[in-house]
Amino acid sequence: MTVESPTTDDEPTEEELTQQFIMWVELTIHDTESVSDTKNERYWCPQWWDHPEAVNRLSALHSAYIQAVADNTMSAWWVQHWDSHTRVLFSQHGPFENCQSRHTFHERSDQYNPRLQTISPPDDWTLS
C-alpha cells in the first residue's frame, strides 16, 4: 500500500508573490526614502510599476533583500544592492527621467520631512 503525502499549498501563488513585492516596494520606499530634496535632484514616479527598468531593479533588490534577511547579511545588502541601485533609480537620468515635470517631490515646508508616494498598480498588474 502506498501512502501519498498530503498536498500542501505552502508555495505562494503568483498573485500573492506580486502583492508581497508591491507591499515591499511601498513600505521600503516610504520608510527608507524619507529625504529632503530642496534642489529636486532625486526623481521618483508614484507609478513606478509602469517603468520596466524600475520594476526590474526593484525586483532584484527585493530578491536580494529576502536572501540577505535569511543569511543575516543586511549590512552588505544596503551597501552592495540598495545604494547601487538607488543611485540609478533616483537619478535625474534614471528610469523616472521623463516624469520629472509631472512626478517630482511634493511641495514641502520647513516642518515637513517628505516621503515618496506610491500609487498602487491596477488590480490586473503582474510582476512578470
Structure confidence by residue, pLDDT tens digits, 35-52: 555 666 778 888 899 888
Radius of gyration of the chain (CA): 18
Which pLDDT does position 10 carry in this prediction? 84
Nearest to 44 by CA among 56, 23, 30, 59: 30
- pLDDT-derived band at 104, boundaries 50, 70, 90: very low
Q: CA-based diameter of the chain, in Å?
A: 75
What DSSP state is assigned to residue 106? Answer: P
Do the Cβ atoms of 116 and 47 come closer than 8 Å?
no
Which pLDDT score, from 0 to 100, does residue 44 have? 83
Q: Note the pLDDT of residue 112.
A: 45
- Asked whether the predicted pLDDT for residue 107 surpasses 50, the reply is no
Domains of the chain, by residue range, sit at: 43-119
* Cβ pair 54, 48 in contact under 8 A: yes
